[in-house]
Each structure stands twice: as C-alpha cells, then as structure tokens.
Amino acid sequence: MNIYHNLNEAISYIENNLFEEIDMQKAGSFIGTNATMFNNFLSVLTGYTVKQYIKYRRLSECTKMLPNYKIVDLAVLCGYDNRSSFSRAFKEFHGINPSEVNEKTDFKYFNRLYFDEENTLLSNIEIKYKELDKLTLYGEYRDILSNDDFEKFWDYILEKYPSVKMAKETFGLVFLNKDRNIRYYIALRERFDDDNEVIKLPKAKVIFTTKSKFEGKTIRTLGKSMKSKSIYGFPDIEIYREDSVELIYKI
C-alpha cells in the first residue's frame, strides 16, 4: 500500500468539504482506518491532529471571503458557535481581529498538506490495529533535550553493549516524564546490564505499523522523526529488527 497516495486522497476529501460537515469516518476509510485511528496516525506523521488541521485550513482560507461575508457568517462556516469565539481564534492565528482587516492586511497562511508519493520512507508501510500484550523489558534511559540526543544515546549504547548491537530485537520507548519532557529508553527482552531498569508495559490497544527494508542506523533515526504526543504512563514503542522497524502508538 502506498500510504502517501491514500493520505493524499483523505486530505483531498477534507479539502473538498472544508467548509461543510466533514465525515471523519469517511476520511479515515481512505487509509483503511476509523476516525480515531486516522486522527492518531495523522498526528504521528505531521504533528497535527485532524481537528487542528481543519481549524488552521479554515482560518487560512476564510480570509479570501472576508470582503463578501459578514463575520458572523464566517464564524458559522468555520465551525464556531458565535462571532466572539471565531474572532478570538482568528486573532490568535492571524494576530488581528477580523473586524480590523483591511486591504493591506497580511495574513498567516497554513498550506494544504501534500504527501510526496514518490518518497520511499513509508512506501511499504503496513498499518494494523491490535491489542498489545503485557510486556516486561530491561533497559537504560536518557532525558531527551534535543533531536541530537536520540542518536548520541544510540551511539553510546551500541558501543558500550555489544549484546544490544547483536540483538535480533531492540526496543526504543518514548515516555513523557512528570515534567512533560521526553524520557527515552533503549531496552531488550533480557538484561544487558546488572543496573538495567525494569520496564513493565500494560496491555493496551495500539496502532501497529511495520516498515521493512531499512538498514543500519537509518532504522534508529526513523522513530524520532515520527513522534506522537505520548500519553504519560504509556510509551510510543519502536521495535528495531535486522530488516524492519515497527512503530507502536496507543489508541
């Protein structure tokens, strides 16, 4: 399945109905998911939920209608219950009240999403929905302050522990700590150091994606580019194997 092509079809459906009631179930059906799973998957890939995407696109496109529509009518078109709520969102996005707009006003514009269908990064990805069984892992963690910290931590672990480098299955776990910062674990199913922390994962319903034909360190940098907003207490999970990576997100 070319997931990028299917995602573009889902986005086209949203765009063609941008100022109407959008059926999220139908949008999700383009990639074989329901509304909740589609929302989670788009958030994983782009950092925006479907609701945020629609909001920003409506606030961008409605500026073209300002000369011909009353503000209260634009509020309804953009999905707001009243003029004041719309005006507040409009000012937060554009930095100006809709009533203050004139022909010289410069607006912020949020572009339509397009996915490059020639990109091979996720071209053979599979999406599954399943229940993840309880899992006990052993590993070390670092608190991540920048993207470089992911790769530095991997380099450190792979150099220090040959057993991790040779493992047929290695886990990367992304938690949010109590300060809402990323705490990243590298773990195995068995101990690779006496001081390893024990990580117990509960049973959960998850989005389960598989990407094959990756080699070397490319695998270990894929996950950091696809981080979702992890729920505190449950990680995003990356499972690295010799020829594939599985990315798991809680629904």
| pLDDT of 251 higher than 60 | no
- The answer to whether residue 110 is domain-embedded is no
Q: What is the pLDDT of residues 170-180, one digit of tens each?
A: 998 888 777 76
Please indicate, yes or no, whether residues 85 and 151 belong to a single structural domain of this protein.
no
CA distances to 95, 143, 149, 183, 229 from 180, in Å = 28, 11, 17, 9, 10
pTM score of the predicted model: 0.61
If one counts the domains in the chain, the total is 2
Q: Is 36 helix (H, G, I), strand (E, B) or coil?
A: helix
Counted residue by residue, the chain has a size of 251
The reply to whether 138 and 214 lie within a common domain is yes
Q: How does pLDDT run across 189-211, given as a tens digit for each residue?
A: 999 999 999 999 888 766 666 66
Residue 117 domain-assigned (yes or no): no
Please give the pLDDT value at position 228. 39
Asked if residue 113 belongs to a domain, the reply is: no
Question: Is 121 among the domain residues?
Answer: no
State how far the alpha carbon of 225 is from the alpha carbons of 147, 150, 174, 207, in Å. Answer: 9, 10, 12, 17
pLDDT digits (tens, 9 = 90+) for 110-136: 999 988 777 655 555 666 667 778 889
**How confident is the model over 130-167, as pLDDT tens digits?**
777 888 999 999 988 777 888 889 889 999 999 998 89
- What percentage of residues in the chain have a pLDDT greater than 90? 44
The confidence band for 38, taking pLDDT boundaries of 50, 70 and 90, is confident
114 in a domain, yes or no? no
* 136 plus 244 within the same structural domain: yes
Domain span holding position 31 = 3-100
As a whole number of Å, the end-to-end CA separation of the chain is: 22
CATH code where residue 174 lies:
3.20.80.10
Domain for residue 120, yes or no? no
Residues 203, 133 contacting (CB under 8 angstroms): yes
